[in-house]
Amino acid sequence: MPGPVAARRAPAARRGRFSWRSRRVRALAYQLLAVAVIGFLGWLLVSSTLANMRLRGIQSGFDFLLQPAGFDIGEGWVPYDSVNPYWRAFLVGVVNTLRVAVIGCLLATLLGTLLGIGRFSRNALVRGICYGYVELFRNIPVLLQLLMWYLLFTEYLPPPDEAWRAGHALFLSKNGISFPALVWESGHWWALGGLAAGCIAAFAYARVARAAFERSGKPWPVAAAAVLLVLGLSWGGWLAGGAPAQFHFPEAGELQVEGGSALSPEYMAVLLGLVLYTAAFIAEVVRAGIASVPRGQHEAAASIGLPRGRTMRLVVLPQALRLIIPPLTNQYLNLTKNSSLAVAVGYPDVVSIANTSLNQSGRAVECIAIIMLVYLTMSLSTSAGMNWFNRRAAIKER
């Protein structure tokens, strides 16, 4: 006879998925509690502020953004008139701030990289110039530099009727730099379409070239091919649109240079001051990144016959990027936030527009909140983009 069958044990009761004993559940609960407390404190601050403003008869709310602004703005890429509402004036200020921040970051990166590489030059004069530049510009407050360039442009340049000129295309005077302006036509949209198609084609070609290199070990020409694709498709789109090439040329008048496009002395002072100041810090970031690459990498590149220029471009800089990008992000953020000093030279950025709107509407809290939101958005966008680039440039182990 078969032996007695062992009694089956009842299956253990499954612990609830959301048990307080779970570290994950407790962490989530604490985070939700912290968010609730912060939200309550924020609501309490806002409500008490609004109550105190009502007791003192101070108007509040963002409805003023729909009212006519009633003031002029000296320059901007966005069409604007004094009868336009406040929100459009703020839009002009935001675009003016981006004009300084984006172009300034690009120029400061280019200049700072050249200076950082120049610190390793074998020429003592080049090394000395780069070192002197860094020590000079990073130790002078940026506000003083902005004022210095503004006074230089407004005091020492000739008046508009005696403007320095290069033919009939370029004028330099107290009013700034005037140059020919492109007359926008429908054919230019074809050129932009060709440019977009060229960028997509260059990106696709780069991916194919990398895949082919990983399979065969034979490199494809990527940089030259990408440039040819972008320029060729842009030129093809321009031809397909009728090859429009009409310009408005500036002309010297009695009081000012009329026609064409112009860069005001305020904009040039802000851009030049921020670029030269930030480039000194970027140069030190690049120098530190290059110095972190082991000396053996230079020797290995020299042993296979690579010249110093290609060694720097193909071996050293790609390895230094992982240390350069994080502090470079900080310099981009500093340049963007330092652009708020443009109000000192009269450039109509978002801070200047907010100050004027505050004086006319009396909505101090709202105007300050708009400034904070604008700079917070730009800073977080810059950080997100640089973090993505940092992940792409990081050395990936196989």
**Whether residues 156 and 195 fall in one domain:** no
**Is 73 within a domain?**
no
* Domain count of the fold of the chain: 2
**Whether residues 153 and 253 fall in one domain:** yes
**Is 238 within a domain?**
yes
| Position 105 pLDDT exceeds 90 | yes
Distance CA 267, CA 239 (A): 34
Specify the 3-state DSSP secondary structure of 200.
helix
**Whether residues 213 and 241 fall in one domain:** yes
Query: What average pLDDT does this structure show over 323-342?
Result: 92
**Whether residues 133 and 267 fall in one domain:** yes
**Is 103 within a domain?**
yes
- The pLDDT > 90 percentage for the chain reads 33
175-185: per-residue pLDDT in tens?
A: 888 888 777 78
Q: Which residue has the higher pLDDT, 151 or 213?
A: 151
**Is 70 within a domain?**
no
**Whether residues 177 and 216 fall in one domain:** no
Distance CA 110, CA 119 (A): 15
Residue 8 phi/psi, 5° resolution?
A: -75, 140
**Is 24 within a domain?**
no
Q: Is 341:395 a contact under the CB 8 Å cutoff?
A: no
- Secondary structure (DSSP) of 136-183: HHTTS-HHHHHHHHHHHHHHSSPPGGG-EEETTTEEEETTEEEE-EE-
**Whether residues 213 and 330 fall in one domain:** no
15-38: per-residue pLDDT in tens?
A: 546 677 788 888 888 889 999 999
| Position 7 pLDDT exceeds 60 | no
**Whether residues 234 and 304 fall in one domain:** no
**Whether residues 167 and 231 fall in one domain:** no
**Is 20 within a domain?**
no
The amino acid sitting at 319 is Q
**Is 144 within a domain?**
yes
Domain termination site, one of 218, 245, 272: 245
**Whether residues 322 and 350 fall in one domain:** yes
Q: Is 370:354 a contact under the CB 8 Å cutoff?
A: yes
| Position 155 pLDDT exceeds 80 | yes
0.85 surpassed by pTM = no
Distance CA 44, CA 327 (A): 37
Query: What average pLDDT does this structure show over 90-96?
Result: 93
User: Nearest to residue 222, comparing CAs of 202, 242, 237, 241?
Assistant: 202
Angle at which helix 317-338 crosses helix 265-291, to 10 degrees, equals 150
Q: What is the pLDDT of residue 9?
A: 55
DSSP state of 312: I
Domain extent at residue 209: 184-245
User: Nearest to residue 180, comparing CAs of 242, 265, 251, 255?
Assistant: 251
26-85: per-residue pLDDT in tens?
A: 888 888 999 999 998 888 887 787 777 677 766 677 888 888 888 888 888 888 888 899
**Is 202 within a domain?**
yes
Domain termination site, one of 245, 263, 281: 245
**Whether residues 209 and 258 fall in one domain:** no
Query: What average pLDDT does this structure show over 278-300?
Result: 88
| Number of neighbouring beta carbons within 10 Å of residue 332 | 23
Specify the 3-state DSSP secondary structure of 347.
coil
**Whether residues 383 and 295 fall in one domain:** yes
**Whether residues 255 and 345 fall in one domain:** yes
Domain termination site, one of 211, 229, 245: 245
The 3-state secondary structure of 17-75 reads CCCCCCHHHHHHHHHHHHHHHHHHHHHHHHHHHHHHHHHCCCCCCCHHHHCECCCCCCC
- Provide the CATH number for the domain around residue 115: 1.10.3720.10
DSSP state of 217: -
User: Nearest to residue 301, comparing CAs of 315, 321, 317, 287?
Assistant: 315
User: Nearest to residue 104, comparing CAs of 378, 394, 396?
Assistant: 378
